[in-house]
Amino acid sequence: MYPYHNKIKQRIKNGELVKFEFVEKYKNISPCLLLYFSTEPYIRPIRAHRFEAYDLLLKTVKNVSGK
């Protein structure tokens, strides 16, 4: 099984995160947190039940714009 969230968190810690935004719907995910990265894959969606874990992590990241 692909460690989806572990990879994303590592990419954030490596400074690859460019911006993030909360959207009403992305594909079949509603609501959704979209994370934008400087390397492929460029966009990673996060489901609502994971928002709290990412909120804590995103507060520690500098120079990243969020909407």
Where do the domains of the chain lie?
A: 4-60
Q: CB 13: neighbour CB atoms within 10 A?
A: 12
Token pair listed for 55: 């909120």
Rama region for 27: left / alpha / beta (φ>0; ψ in -120 to 50; rest): left
Position 36 scores a pLDDT of 97
Contacts of 42 (CB under 8 A, 6+ apart): 36
Q: What is the pTM of this model?
A: 0.89
pLDDT band at 66 (very low <50, low <70, confident <90, very high): confident
Peptide bond into 31 cis (omega under 30): yes
17 has pLDDT over 70: yes
> In this predicted model, what pLDDT tens digit does every residue of 18-40 receive, in sequence order?
999 999 999 999 999 999 999 99
